[in-house]
Structure 1
Amino acid sequence: MIHLRVNGLPTFDENGLFSGYRGTARDETNEVDARQEEAAARALLMDAVESLEDGFALFDADDRLVLFNTPFGKMVDDAVRDTLIIGNTFEQITTKWAAGGGYDLSESERAEFLKLRMERHRNLPSTNIYHLADGTWVEISERRTSDGGCVLVRHPITELKQIEEALRASDERMRRLIDIAPEAIIVADETMNIQIFNSGAERAFGYSASEVIGQKVDILMPERFRGGHDGHVKMFVGSEAVERSMGDRSTIVGLRKDGEEFPSEAAISKLTTPEGPVFTVMLRDITSRVRAENELARARAHLEDAIETISQAVSLWSADRKLILFNRKFEEIFNFEGKKVEVGLDFDELVETALEQGIFSDDPTAAAVYARKRTVVFDLANGQPITREAKGGRYYQVLDVRTHDGGVLSVGSDVTDIVRREQFMQEATQHAELANRAKSEFLANMSHELRTPLNAILGFSEILQTEPFGNLGDQRYKEYISDIHDSGSHLLEIINDILDLSRIEAGQISLREEPVDVHEIAERVLTMLRGRADEGGVEIIDDISNDLPNLYADARIMRQILVNLISNAVKFTNADKEVVVSAEINSAGEFIVCVSDEGIGISEEDQIHVLEPFGQVDGSLTRSFEGVGLGLPLTKSFVELHGGDLHLESEVGVGTTVSLAFPPERVVEKEK
């Protein structure tokens, strides 16, 4: 096909009809073919550009947009997409994108960004990464064309950035984990240059990471160990295993920055990577542990020395009943034939062997019983001692105590002398009890023997006082008879007290208990003793309320208690002084009876003696008062028979208060 360009004018005849054409024609076939080829090439280029996943744009030598593909248009925000007009300059488009929020920029950052962006655009080639406002990331590569234009390729890298961020976060986590590890972690390359030096390593060696990274690992060990270490490392590097440990954790000597050497445990592992083998050292400073072990060894040595100096047989057993420690005395006791006592010996095996060889006792039955008992006590290990009679009549006592780790500390002692002393004391106590019982029986019998003639004397003196057979004559006879009666009455009271005390000591007294009105008994006693008080110029005050509950007690003994206390108070109180008798129920529910006087008082050191039988106070103030010292001890015993307590308070020159406390269960409400 030929393409012609024609220039000319048409000609017409006299009738106006076309008769021809006059002009020139030029053959443009080559030009048309060239334009068609150019269009086809452009279409082919656009097809190729459109097939790209990346955004593509072409700018001419005047920096005006010539073409762009669809992905390029989709990579920009709707607000700035209208700037993608053929013929717009790069600066116009970029300015609009920056101002319209296409990039992740603050207001103050936009001018500086635009300046930097244009500078990069003018200095091609360049490849830069930008963070867009929608949170995505792009990589923009720009290259100069042969005609002075520019090709711009916009590649989305959001997923890549996310992967990089995940890797960075993972690396950061790993770095932090390594850094916070309590142990020293050191990573070195194939040449043993340090690559990682965590905080634990900084603490252990005294170096900062910046001081040692890039340095040889052997700066962390004493000079004398470096040669041997290099040899081990070379063997380790040459091993075929991709991933393995250089032996188990072993003890090595580390060297601190200040030159101090320290013991440590280290484990080295090898990991083969594409970049070459990597070595990781896990190191723990065991200075404290070694020091503790040394101190423990010294303490054990001291303990062994100490237990060797004592006379007891000492043994220490583990929680699984194995012998850990023992002294020579223990070894002497368990001197087995054909079997050695040594560390690791089982306790049950020890007992069985001792039983077989007759160490526990000459009597096989007694030995078997003790062996069983010994095992039970060992299992309990509660600190309760057991004693056995061994061969030859010796006695041994064993005490087992549980240790904090579940073991048992056993201490055996030869207590033969102690046992024999205890036997002697038991025999002496039995003899004393027999003697005391004989004394009580003697006193009881003697009291009965004395009361019979004494009652006769009192009876005849009373008869003579009434003069039933006529006047005696001389007044002195009457006075003598009165003295005989008073002395006999006093002697009878003493005999009765001795008899009561002997009954209590012999356990022969029994209570006839019933609800007792303490107020009524006190009134009767006061009536009986008021005459004696009046003779001495002593005032007795009755402060016992009739509203008090009854006391469940023996009425005869309660009367005797009040007679003893009140007569004592009157006896030791001078004229123009008072004796007060009171009773109450205290806050604890106890029935309290008190007798207080303003008498001579009792010193603190003598208060113990007055509560003992026949324990009179020896002093110039008391020698003039009659009595054998049985009143208070007998009263105390009577109160204790009722389950109560007697409390004495006294001060010399001020007076005395005796308080009786009967338990709440003896308080009985009166019937209305």
Structure 2
Amino acid sequence: MIDDELIGEAHLRHIVESAMDAIITINAEQRIVLFNPAAQQMFRCAATDALGQPIDRFIPQRFRPAHQGHIETFGHTRVTNRRMGMLGTVTGLRADGDEFPAEASISQFDTSTGKFFTVILRDITQRKRAEAALQESEARFKAFMDNSPTIAFLKDTQGHYVYVNRPFEMHLNKPAAHVLGKSVFEVWPSDIAHKLHDHDAKTLVADTTIEHVEVIPDAKGELRQWLVLKFPFRDSSGTRYVGGVGLDITHRKDLEEQLRQTERLAELGTLASGMAHEIGTPMNVILGRAEFLMRKTQEEQTKKGLETIVAQVERITKLMNQLLTFARRRPSERRAMDLRTTVETCLEILSERLARHHVKVDTTIPLDLPPVHADQDQMSQVFLNLFINAVHAMPEGGQLRIAAEPTGNHVTVTVADTGHGIPAEYLTKIFTPFFTTKEVGKGTGLGLTVVHGILQEHGGSITVESQKDQGTAFTLMLPVSPSQ
């Protein structure tokens, strides 16, 4: 019959030999008496080379004094073991000089031959690399989101914010510390919060991405329009959230409104031009006959009646003139303006129209182009007029080319199309009010007049070159901002 003690020793030896963690036993002199296969693999050292050696051999020089102190202190306590992780992360030294992080547990026991300490080590190099990679990934993602031109947020299904990026904090003046964990009703005024919550609910119900235009106050408290894409989101546990990114489109909306106003003004100009033509001639006849009769009549009562007729005809004429000059521009507010951004914004507003008419756009504007001294809204009106005219000139499609370059104290901008061109005899007249090459009822003759007036007010200029069936090119000169 096999002795139970021998069976126990064999079983223990098998456990030590097959363990995946390194197991090292040292005596009271801190010399190695047990070095299992996992320790040999971890430290890249054979047991024959490790047994009898001081444990310091496998500890970096800088940690040896502290390690010796820890072992001595541990030996004097009544504690028999400390679990894995209680010692924190320790640093091991492989036989080839490579250092590595490890978790350790330690135990002590007494025998008839003296005190012994057993250390179990687990190499956590891969875990540390994974943690470092995760931290790097999180830092990269945070930097990406914090440098994004869009605001970004994440909310739970109850409307509580669980994440906001840096642009959210900056543009909306809502620090993360004052937002996270709070619902939209705690962060925003009631009317705004209800709309945001309704949009969140619709997104969750639809279970798909939905585009919303939301009105939210900015850092100054001014209401801004944001194009927000909201989407449902589930984390690894299946918990649902509403994610969203938003872009401030207030300026674009303002430009769209200016475009609508320009088109309404054009319609008004067409109406006023037609009325002036249709009403002007008979009014002149009535005025002329009334004045003639006033000179002939001697009757005071008749003369008074004719004077009333003259006054009313002059009133009608004045009203017609007021209609024709209805869209007088406000005083310009000039400052340093990025021409490239203004051109790109105008092209974006007209993108659908350009695509519908098969007009390809070629833009050449240097990134280092100096800013011009101009009113952004008025310059948007200039480019919208020129671009729309170019589209009209290319009913079957073509190319719109926009280029800019510095020229001394000015910036030269060229807007050219490949349309039907302007006859030579008309080139000297195109900036004249109410002159148009378009069919009757399709143009007011005011657009280029307005463009010419704006550029003159800015201390700039506009010229035109055109060849029939070859296209038209407008050249604009704008003063560089004094700050340059």
Q: TM-score normalised to the size of structure 2?
A: 0.48
**Based on CA coordinates, which of the two structures has the bigger radius of gyration?**
1
Higher-RCO chain (CA-CA 8 Å, sequence separation at least 6): 2
Structure-1-length-normalised TM-score: 0.36
